[in-house]
Amino acid sequence: MIVLWAALSTVGVLFTEYLFRASGEWRWEITLPLAVLINFCVFKMLNVSSSWMGAIILFSLMTQVGRLGLGYLVLHEPMTKGLLAGIMLLLAANVVRSVWR
């Protein structure tokens, strides 16, 4: 269930980012309901998780990979070194969390 809620919140984040990048302006009529949906999904993700840190790492990793795919495949933007470094650091954080108990 954690992966489901993280995936739903990631889809909301990516859809919001795509709408903003495609139009160039914030539309509160669309952004406000999406923000509520994203926050609800994060709330549910944290409630069903046994480890908040693991849930946040999973959500962050899914969001970063999604942003990489959205930017590179859909919006045809170059991959930045900062985004790739962020993904590697999130993977390292997940490995450390799993190993160091």
Tens-place pLDDT, residues 19-65 = 888 887 778 888 899 999 999 999 999 999 888 888 888 888 898 88
Rg (CA), the chain: 15
26: left (phi over 0), alpha (psi -120 to 50) or beta: beta
| Calpha distance 101→21 (Å, rounded) | 41
Q: How confident is the model at residue 6 (pLDDT cuts 50, 70, 90)?
A: very high
- Residue range 66-76: mean pLDDT, rounded: 86
> What are the domain boundaries of the chain?
2-99
Q: How confident is the model at residue 86 (pLDDT cuts 50, 70, 90)?
A: confident
More confident call, 16 vs 57: 16
**Measured on CA atoms in the order 89, 95, 99, 101, is the torsion positive or negative?**
positive
Can you give the pLDDT at residue 44? 93
